Structure 1
Amino acid sequence: MAQETIFAKIIAGEIPVEKVYESDSVLAFRDIAPQAKVHLLVIPKTTAYENVTELAAGDPALLADMVAVAKQLADEHGEGEYRLVFNNGASAGQTVFHVHAHVLIDDLKEQSLGG
């Protein structure tokens, strides 16, 4: 990763967040600008991957761990139903170039995106 990101500073403890999960490899915390009733971010503690494509190619087990954490958080903070979003690239809405997943939990039955 070429530049230090806000997530690297969060991992280093330089920026405080409301943590909801932490392991040796993954950190999850509440998004400061939530887009749903519950909006959590799940990030790996490594800064080696800018996006989900790089992570999938470089460390698929870590990607699987992130998805498992997302499911666990959905069970804890909702009823197990959730949206999991990875933005991949600037034109797709990625603004922080440290791979991260958005876990969005709200009234999914009322706001289905379909497909």
Structure 2
Amino acid sequence: MSTIFQRIIDREIPADIVYEDHLCLAFRDVAPQAPVHVLVIPKQEIRSVDAIKQGDAALLGHLWVVIGQIARDLGVADSGYRVVTNCGKLGGQSVDHLHFHILGGRQLDWPPG
């Protein structure tokens, strides 16, 4: 069964897309935890951080470049932002598809959880 993120990639579910290229997709979170809350996902299915393989290194590097570009485009790069990825049930991962949260636009507390 496809994850909700795969269904967004396949355009079966609508999303407020802020960035897309041949490797990844970024869209606004439907339950934002900050004024800026965007999810960045690879189009390649990778279940979690634990499932990343050596061959995924170039893709992961690309995702980090895209994350920085999105932060600049959305105006949070100068003031600061947080990038979060959750791994596993106890780590708070709710969708089994690797994804990065970009959070910004307000003071973010520490520790986060």
Residue in structure 1 matched with residue 27 of structure 2 by the alignment:
29
With structure 2 as the length reference, what TM-score do the two structures score?
0.88
Unaligned runs of 5+ in 2: none
SS at match of 1:29: strand
Residue in structure 1 matched with residue 11 of structure 2 by the alignment:
13
Q: How many residues align?
A: 109
Can you list the C-alpha shifts for 1:52-106, whole angstroms capped at 9, x where unaligned? 2322544011111111111111111123121000101111000000000000012
Contact 2:76–2:105 (8 Å) recurs in 1: no
Residue 70 and residue 107 in structure 1: after superposition, are their counterparts in 2 closer, same or farther (change >3 A)? same
Where do 4+ consecutive residues of structure 1 move more than 6 Å?
Answer: none
With structure 1 as the length reference, what TM-score do the two structures score?
0.87
* In structure 1, distance between residues paired with 2:10 and 2:24: 13
Unaligned runs of 5+ in 1: none
Tell me if 1:87 matches 2:86: yes
Percent identity over the alignment is 45
Residue in structure 1 matched with residue 72 of structure 2 by the alignment:
75
Moved more, 56-65 or 85-94: 56-65
Which AA in structure 2 matches 1:97?
A: D
Q: CA RMSD in A?
A: 1.5
Which AA in structure 2 matches 1:6?
A: I
